[in-house]
Amino acid sequence: MSGADFSTVNTYALHSDGSDGLFLPQGLTDISVASSSILTLASGVNGSVATLSRTNGTRASTVFTTPLSALRISFAGKNQYLAFTKPSMKLPGSAFLVNSAGRFSRIAGPRDGLVALASPLGKWVLVSSMVDQVMHMELINTATGETLPLPIATLADKCVWTADDTTIYCGIPVNPPSGVNYPDDWYQGAVPFNDRIWKIQVSGRYAQLVLDFPTETKESLDAEALAINPAGTVLVFVNKNDGSLWSYQL
């Protein structure tokens, strides 16, 4: 943060080998990184502007502009992007696919607490929301618009896709507290979860328990920032309860 009132957000990008660091434009509200590109979002009272550049910060170009000022963005395959309104239980949200020409197409919503997560190849979008104050999760086929409900539910922010779009790993809470505002209270740290890690196979939509964390470690797990290696053999996540970093051999 910088500025007289420390209200200016500064973002610094660093390659995995620690070389060629650079500052990105100030005031960014969201960022998504692919193998060779960086997608950034700057939002204000007049709306939002998304910009695409190389990972070294060169060849920046505007992807889209929109009057929506509270968005999150990510890549959704090649030449396609996912944008969705910042989630809140108190405000119905929507998810959109954005093509290379900057055209928005709504794929989900308006729904309370909507969170969306695009698959790496862009074939699917995982959407979580609250239905009658109960967590609900489904898959949306980006080519056909078909919606497929899933047998288990969590917040999409607690999930990660494998590189081939076939599998999702999620932290699924056991008996999440009722009568609270999801996802707001979870983001704010007011309500912790006690998760198990589950594997969801897109084909057939079946779920398999992968890691019963409390049984294995005698500790509670609230999984966030999940990531998986390109080979799909190692899952990495942060335990929100204590900030510890974990890896698990799949």
**C-beta neighbour count of 217 within 10 angstroms:** 12
**Mind listing the pLDDT tens digit for each residue in 59-99?**
889 999 999 989 999 999 988 999 999 999 988 999 999 99
Poorest-pLDDT segment among 19-23, 38-42, 61-65, 73-77: 19-23
DSSP 140-153: EETTT--EEE-SS-
Average pLDDT, the chain: 90
Distance (Å, whole) CA 25 – CA 196: 38
Beta carbons of 162 and 199 less than 8 angstroms apart: no
pLDDT of residue 1: 45
Alpha helices in 198-238 (DSSP H): 213-217
pLDDT of residue 153: 96
pTM reported for the whole predicted model: 0.90
Of residues 8 and 74, more confidently modeled: 74
pLDDT of residue 15: 65
pLDDT of residue 13: 65
Report which of 96, 19, 54 is spatially closest to residue 40, judged by C-alpha positions.
Answer: 54
